[in-house]
């Protein structure tokens, strides 16, 4: 993943993949300032066959990407549970969630659920209510219609925070290289 320079606002989409509901949230990061842009979810009908649901997720995300034109994307990693079949199906939805921005030439970062919670709330095992409360503080204009949209905004915030620290580390490293010349 190649991060864009921190100069100027960077539009980021966070995606919380799911077969029933794939949440998405778009923010702009301008230095340390976070600006809410939009959020929602793609909800394919439950009675569709798996392939058709995956197609509906892809088409929905492609529409969101076209409408909001993010520069970077972040997707939550799959949480492995006891039901292997459900985990595999979720993995397929996650693959579509990664493919959609990649088809638009957008770099895609991945974050573990605990990393998202720790970044947004400060605790890796935070509850959804705690995430919702922090979203009201970090993005006061956001009013996510579902927990999946809220999670997607949290994923975008996580990427905003981690992309800045990565870019700063690279800048510091390049400055120390210049001093050694």
Q: Which of 43, 72, 76, 151 is catalytic?
A: 76
Radius of gyration of the chain from its Cα atoms, rounded to whole angstroms: 17
**Which residue out of 16, 28, 72, 151 is catalytically annotated?**
16
* 148 catalytic per annotation: yes
Mapped onto helix, strand or coil, the DSSP state of residue 29 is strand
Bridge partners for 22 per DSSP: 42
Under DSSP, is residue 104 helix (H, G, I), strand (E, B) or coil? Answer: coil
* Residue 110 falls in the annotated catalytic set: no
Q: In what order do the strands lie in the sheet with 22-30?
A: 33-42, 22-30, 10-16, 72-76, 107-111
Residue 30 annotated among the catalytic residues of the structure? no
Q: How many CA atoms lie within 13 A of 85 on its CB side?
A: 1
Which residue in the list 28, 43, 72, 148 is annotated as catalytic? 148
Distances (CA, A) of 122 to 14, 85, 143, 146: 19, 32, 21, 22
Pick from 167, 145, 166, 159: nearest CA to 42: 145
Report CA-CA distances (Å) from 87 to 17, 45, 90, 91. 12, 19, 5, 6
List, by residue number, the catalytic residues: 16, 76, 148
């Amino acid at each position: 993943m190649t991060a864009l320079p921190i100069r100027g606002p960077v539009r980021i989409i966070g995606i919380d993949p799911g077969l029933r509901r794939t949440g998405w949230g778009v923010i702009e990061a301008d230095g340390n300032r976070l600006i809410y842009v939009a959020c929602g979810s793609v909800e394919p009908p439950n009675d569709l066959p798996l392939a058709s649901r995956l197609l509906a997720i892809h088409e929905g995300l492609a529409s969101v990407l076209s409408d909001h034109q993010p520069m970077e994307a972040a997707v939550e990693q799959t949480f492995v549970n006891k039901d292997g079949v459900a985990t595999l199906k979720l993995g397929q939805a996650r693959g579509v969630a990664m493919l959609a921005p990649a088809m638009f030439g957008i770099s895609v970062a991945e974050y573990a659920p605990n990393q998202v919670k720790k970044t947004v709330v400060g605790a890796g095992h935070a509850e959804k209510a705690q995430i919702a409360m922090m979203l009201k503080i970090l993005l006061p204009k956001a009013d996510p219609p579902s927990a999946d949209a809220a999670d997607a905004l949290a994923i975008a915030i996580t990427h905003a925070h981690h992309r800045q620290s990565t870019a700063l580390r690279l800048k510091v490293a390049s400055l120390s290289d210049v001093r050694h010349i």
